[in-house]
Amino acid sequence: MSSIDVPLRQGRFGQTSRRDLWWVQPLVVFCALSAFLIYANWAAFQGEHFRFGPYLSPFYSPELWGDPVESWFGAKPAWWPGWLPFSAAIIILWAPAGFRVTCYYYRGAYYKAFWADPPSCTVGEPRTHYRGENSFPLIVQNIHRYFLYLALIFLFFLAHDVWKALWFTDSAGAATFGIGVGTLVLAVNVTLLGGYALGCHSLRHLIGGRRDLFTSNTRRNAYVCVSCLNRRHMLWAWMSLFWVAFSDIYVRLCSMGIWTDWRLL
Amino acid sequence: MAQATFRIWRGDSQNGSFQDYNVESAPGMVVLDAVHDIQGSQAPDLAVRWNCKAGRCGSCSAEINGNPKLMCMTRMSTLDLSQPITVEPMRAFPLVRDLVAHVGSNYRAKKSIRPFKPRPPDFPDGTWRMHQRDVDRVQEFRKCIECFLCQDVCHVLRNHGLHEQFIGPRLFVYSAALEMHPLDTESRAGALKHSHGIGFCNITKCCTKVCPEEITITDNAIIPLKERVVDEYYDPIRRLFRVFTG
C-alpha cells in the first residue's frame, strides 16, 4: 500500500481524473462550428454565384432583394445602409442562424466547445462565477420557439426551390421537366433540414408535450412522430448543417464553371 | 488472474489522500467486488456504502477513473488494468469518509417540490381512469433509483456548488414525473424558475450520459420543464393570450 497526495476538491481548469480523450469531442465541435461560421459568413457576403440554372443556394433562399428579375422585391432596397456591403443572404440568414444558435442541442455543444462551461463532463472549468441561462444575455435563448416558427416557414421556401429545380429551360426557352444532381442536392438539403426542424424540442412541446393529457390519438401520434425525430436531433443537426453548406458550395462551383451539373433525367 | 491496482481515496472532509491497493482480478468481477476484497484483506476500516449489488438500490455510486458510475455495475473487464484504477467518492457532495459522500441535500431539496395533487376522482368509488398514452411519458421517470450520479456529474452542483439555488437533474426528473402526470393539477413552473433554478441548467447532457437506468433526463425531463417555464414567463404571445382568456 502506498500513498499519493492529491487534494479531493474541484481543481483548476481542465483538471479531471478521466483517462479517455475527453477533449476530442469539444475540439471537433469547435472546429466544425468555426469552419461553418467562417464559410457561411464568407458565402453570405459574396452576393454572387448563388444561382445556377434552376438552382438557388439555400443561403440565399428566399431571395427577397437582389436580382432585379428573380428576387421578390427587386434590387437592393433604398434603406440599406451604404457602409454595409449588400447581399441577399444577410437579409434572411439571421432567422435560420437564430434557430441554430438557440437550439437546445447546439447550446449544450457550444457552451462546452467555446466557453468550456464545462469543457466536458467532470472536467474543471476556467471560471468560478456562473449564472447559466438565468440572466441576460443567455436568458434570450428562451425565444427559441419563435425562431422555430420562422424555420418552419423557411422549409416551405426550400421545398419550393426543389420544385423549381425540377424545371430546366431548354434551348427554345421553354421549361422542361428534368432532374439534375443539383436537384438531388437541394432535395436532400430540405429533407435534412426538415428532419432537424421537425425534431425540435420546442415543436415537441408545442405539439403535445405541454399537455398532461393528449386528449386525442392524433395529438399523441404527432407527439410520437416529433419525439422520434427528436431522439436523433444531434445527428439531424450536424447532417443538415453540413449539407446546407455543401448545397451552397455545389451551386457556387457550378455557377463558377468549376463543377459540371450532370442531368440525370 | 490479472493483477489490478486500485487507487482509492482515503480520508475525511478535512484531509486525505489516494492510496494504492493491489487486487487479483477474477472473471466476472466488478469494482465493488474489488473494493470488498480490499476491505476484507487490506483495509478493514475502508468506508463504502453499498446494498443490493445488483444496480437497483443506487447506494454504491462513486467516480471510477473520473467517471460517475455504480461500482456494482462496472465490470473490471471494461477497465484498463495496466494503469491504476482510480476510485473516488462523489465530488458534488460533502465527504463523510473514504468513499462515502453525504447526499442529504438531495432529500432536503425534494421536500421543497410541491407534492402530487390529483384531480377529484372520476368515479364515486374514488378511482380514476387514465389512458396509457398519457401515462407513457412519466413511466420512464419512475425508473430512477436515486443513485445521484446525475447530481454528481452536473457542473452546476459539482463545480459551482449551487446546491441551495439549483435542485439538480434528479429532482427535475422527480418534478417532471409529477408535473406531467395525467392526474396532477398542481403547477410547478413558478417554483422551477424562481427557487429550483432550472435556468442554471445549460443542457450539457452529462446527467443523461451517466444515468445507469438510461433515463433521457435532459431531453425528456429538463427541456420539457424549461419549455413549460417559457410558456409561463418568456412567451409574450402566450402571456397576451392569457390576459384575454383568463
Q: Given CB atoms, is B195 within the 8 Å cutoff of chain A?
A: no
Residue B107 is inside which H or E element, if any? helix B104-111
Instruction: Say if residue A17's pLDDT is above 60.
Output: yes
CB contact under 8 A, A6 and B18: yes
CB contact under 8 A, A111 and B204: yes
Per-residue pLDDT for chain B (246 aa), expressed as one digit of tens each? 789 999 999 998 888 999 999 999 999 999 999 999 999 999 999 999 999 999 999 999 999 999 999 999 999 999 999 999 999 999 999 999 999 999 999 999 999 999 999 999 999 999 999 999 899 999 999 999 999 999 999 999 999 999 999 999 999 999 999 999 999 999 999 999 999 999 999 999 999 999 999 999 999 999 999 999 999 999 999 888 888 876
Q: What digits encode the pLDDT tens for the residues A138-149? A: 999 999 999 999
Instruction: Say if residue A55's pLDDT is above 60.
Output: yes
A17: in domain: no
Q: Which residue of A has its CA nearest to B93?
A: A9
The pLDDT value given to residue A9: 53
The CATH 3.10.20.30 domain(s) of chain B lie at 2-101
The pLDDT value given to residue A3: 42
B63 neighbourhood in chain A, CB within 8 Å: 17, 122
Based on the number of CB atoms within 10 Å of its own CB, is B113 exposed (0-12), middle (13-18) or buried (19 or more)?
buried
**Collapsed DSSP state (helix, strand, coil) of residue A42:** helix
A4 neighbourhood in chain B, CB within 8 Å: 7, 17-20
Q: Which of A112, A212, A224 to mutate to test the interface with B (most CBs of B within 10 A)?
A: A212
Residue type, A246: F
Instruction: Reply yes or no: is the peptide bond before residue A118 cis, omega within 30 of 0.
Output: yes
A163: in domain: yes
Distances (CA, A) of A165 to A177, A182, A193: 9, 8, 17
Give chain A's domain count.
Answer: 1
Distances (CA, A) of A130 to A102, A122, A134, B46: 19, 16, 10, 36
Q: Given CB atoms, is B221 within the 8 Å cutoff of chain A?
A: no
Which of B80, B131, B159 is nearest residue A10 as measured by Cβ atoms?
B159
> What nine digits make up the cell of B177?
414525473
Tell me whether 0.95 is exceeded by the ipTM: no
Q: Given CB atoms, is B56 within the 8 Å cutoff of chain A?
A: no
CB contact under 8 A, B159 and A118: yes
User: How far, in Å, CA of B89 to CA of B6, rounded?
Assistant: 14
Q: pTM, whole model, 2 decimals?
A: 0.94
| pLDDT band, very low/low/confident/very high, at A8 (cuts 50, 70, 90) | very low
Cα four-point dihedral sign B37, B43, B45, B47? negative
B228 neighbourhood in chain A, CB within 8 Å: 205, 210
Q: Which residue of A has its CA nearest to B216?
A: A231
> What nine digits make up the cell of B166?
439549483
Expressed as residue numbers, the domain containing A251 is: 24-76+85-255
Closest-CA distance of chain A to residue B182, Å: 5
Residue B83 phi, psi (nearest 5): -120, 155
A98: in domain: yes
Q: Given CB atoms, is B62 within the 8 Å cutoff of chain A?
A: no
Name which residue leads in pLDDT, A87 or A253.
A253
Residue type, A3: S
Q: Which residue of B has its CA nearest to A26?
A: B204
Give Cβ neighbours of residue B223 (< 8 Å, ≥ 6 apart). A104, A201, A205, B203
CB contact under 8 A, A130 and B156: yes
Instruction: Say if residue A1's pLDDT is above 70.
Output: no
- Across A106-187, the runs of DSSP E, i.e. the strands, are 167-169, 175-177
The pLDDT value given to residue A7: 39
A17 neighbourhood in chain B, CB within 8 Å: 63, 65-66, 86, 88
Q: What digits encode the pLDDT tens for the residues A184-233? A: 999 999 999 999 999 999 999 999 999 999 888 899 999 999 999 999 99
A202: in domain: yes
CATH of B2-101, one of 3.30.1020.10, 2.60.40.2310, 3.30.530.20, 3.10.20.30: 3.10.20.30
Domain B104-238: state its class: mainly alpha
The pLDDT value given to residue A5: 41
Instruction: Say if residue A76's pLDDT is above 90.
Output: no
The CATH 1.10.1060.10 domain(s) of chain B lie at 104-238
The pLDDT value given to residue B81: 95
The pLDDT value given to residue A122: 95
Q: Which of A12, A17, A22, A144 to mutate to test the interface with B (most CBs of B within 10 A)?
A: A17
Contacts 24+ apart (CB under 8 A), A9-15: A9/B91, A10/A124, A10/B91, A10/B158, A10/B159, A11/A124, A12/A124, A13/A116, A13/A119, A13/A124, A13/A125, A13/A126, A14/A119, A14/A123, A14/A124, A15/A123, A15/A124
Instruction: Say if residue A2's pLDDT is above 60.
Output: no
CB contact under 8 A, A5 and B17: yes
